[in-house]
Amino acid sequence: EVQLVETGGGLIQPGGSLRLSCAASGFTVSGNYMSWVRQAPGKGLEWVSVIYGGGNTYYADSVKGRFTISRDSSKNTLFLQMNSLRVEDTAVYYCAKWRGGIFDLWGQGTLVTVSS
């Protein structure tokens, strides 16, 4: 079955760090463009980051310099390392397969709450 499963969310204090994981099955993470999209509580969707098949990475301005997207081909897993977290980073984080700029497969999401 083709699916994505995110883990790693939780409650973290402002300024802290967290690493999200997204395990893929039914296809290879390294053979596809993969992305993270987030959704603040009760709000809309915001694209966060993408990693291309060749390894190039790109970020939204709101997270540039603080978040790092990466992957592990041996584990077929996508990661999002989040540093210097802010209250406004509180959201459900989804990993998604990127197809030509659209998101055609999504995980179930993992909630990150940044609060003191």
Partner 1 sequence: DIQMTQSPSTLSASVGDRVTITCRASQSISDWLAWYQQKPGKAPKLLIYKASSLESGVPSRFSGSGSGTEFTLTISSLQPDDFATYYCQQYNSFSRTFGQGTKVEIK
User: Nearer to partner 1 by C-beta: 60 or 76?
Assistant: 60
108 binds partner 1 (CB under 8 A): yes
23 binds partner 1 (CB under 8 A): no
CB of 60 to partner 1, least distance (A): 7
* Rounded-to-integer distance, Cα 90 and Cα 38, Å: 9
* Rounded-to-integer distance, Cα 64 and Cα 85, Å: 12
- Could you tell me if 39 and 2 are in contact, meaning their C-beta atoms sit under 8 angstroms apart? no
CB of 76 to partner 1, least distance (A): 19
* Contact set for partner 1, span 60-79 (CB under 8 A): 60-61
* Rounded-to-integer distance, Cα 5 and Cα 15, Å: 26
Minimal CA–CA distance to 114: which of 35, 38, 16? 16
* Contact set for partner 1, span 29-58 (CB under 8 A): 44-47, 58
CB of 8 to partner 1, least distance (A): 16
- Could you tell me if 79 and 72 are in contact, meaning their C-beta atoms sit under 8 angstroms apart? yes
Site residues, partner 1 (CB under 8 A) = 44-47, 58, 60-61, 94, 100-104, 106-109
